[in-house]
Amino acid sequence: MGESLWDLVLRSFLPLVGGAITGTIPLALISFALGLVIALGVALMRLSKVRVVSGIARGYVSIIRGTPLLVQLFVVFYGLPSIGVLVDPWPSAIVAFSLNVGGYAAEVIRAAILSVPRGQWEAAYTIRMSPAQTLGRVILPQAARVSVPPLSNTFISLVKDTSLASLILVTELFRQTQEIAAFSQEFMVIYIEAAFIYWVICVVLSAGQSALERRLDRHVAT
Amino acid sequence: MSPREQPLLGVRGLHKRFGQVEVLKGIDLDIDRGQVVALIGPSGSGKTTVLRCLNGLEVPDAGVLTFEGADAVDFAKRPPRAAVAGLREHSAMVFQHYNLFPHRTVLENVIEGPVRVQKRARADATADALALLERVGLADKRDAFPAELSGGQQQRVGIVRALALKPRLLLFDEPTSALDPELVGDVLAAIRELAAEGWTMLLVTHELRFARDVADHVVFMDGGVVVEAGPPSEVLVAPRQERTRQFLHRLLDH
Mean pLDDT across B231-247: 94
> Does residue A221 carry a pLDDT above 80?
no
Instruction: Say what the ipTM of the complex is.
Output: 0.91
Radius of gyration of chain A measured on its C-alpha atoms: 21
Q: Which of B241, B228, B234 is nearest to B216 (CA)?
A: B234
Contact criterion met (CB < 8 Å) for A127 and B99:
no
What is each CA distance from A199 to A33, A122, A187, in whole angstroms? 21, 45, 18
Q: What is the pLDDT of residue B76?
A: 86
Cβ contact A103:A60 at 8 Å? yes
Q: What is the pLDDT of residue B84?
A: 78
Binned at pLDDT 50, 70 and 90, residue A216 comes out as confident
Mean pLDDT across A8-30: 93
The answer to whether residue A140 neighbours chain B at the CB level (below 8 Å) is no
Q: What is the pLDDT of residue B2?
A: 47
List of domains in chain A: 5-221 (1.10.3720.10)
**How is residue B204 annotated by DSSP?**
E
> Does residue A22 carry a pLDDT above 90?
yes
In tens, the pLDDT along B94-130 reads 999 999 999 999 999 999 999 999 999 999 999 999 9
Q: What is the pLDDT of residue A114?
A: 97
Identify the contact set of chain B against chain A, taking CB-CB distances under 8 A: 55-57, 85, 88-89, 92-93, 95, 97, 99-104, 112-113, 116-118, 145-148, 161-162, 165
In tens, the pLDDT along A181-191 reads 999 999 999 99
Q: What is the pLDDT of residue A87?
A: 87
Binned at pLDDT 50, 70 and 90, residue B79 comes out as confident
Contacts of A219 in chain B (CB under 8 A): 102-104, 145-147
Is 0.95 surpassed by the pTM of this model?
Answer: no
Contacts of A125 in chain B (CB under 8 A): 56-57, 88
Q: Which residues contact B235 (CB under 8 A, 6 or more apart)?
A: B218, B219, B220, B228, B229, B244
Radius of gyration of chain B measured on its C-alpha atoms: 18
Contact criterion met (CB < 8 Å) for A133 and B88:
no
The answer to whether residue A119 neighbours chain B at the CB level (below 8 Å) is yes
The answer to whether residue A118 neighbours chain B at the CB level (below 8 Å) is no
Binned at pLDDT 50, 70 and 90, residue B234 comes out as very high
> Does residue B46 carry a pLDDT above 90?
yes
> Does residue B157 carry a pLDDT above 60?
yes
Cβ contact B65:B10 at 8 Å? yes
> Does residue B1 carry a pLDDT above 60?
no
Q: What is the pLDDT of residue B89?
A: 87
Q: What is the pLDDT of residue A2?
A: 53
Q: What is the pLDDT of residue B183?
A: 87
Query: How many CB atoms lie under 10 A from the CB of residue A185?
Result: 7
Query: How many CB atoms lie under 10 A from the CB of residue A191?
Result: 15
Question: What whole-number distance in Å separates Cα of residue B9 and Cα of residue B37?
Answer: 12
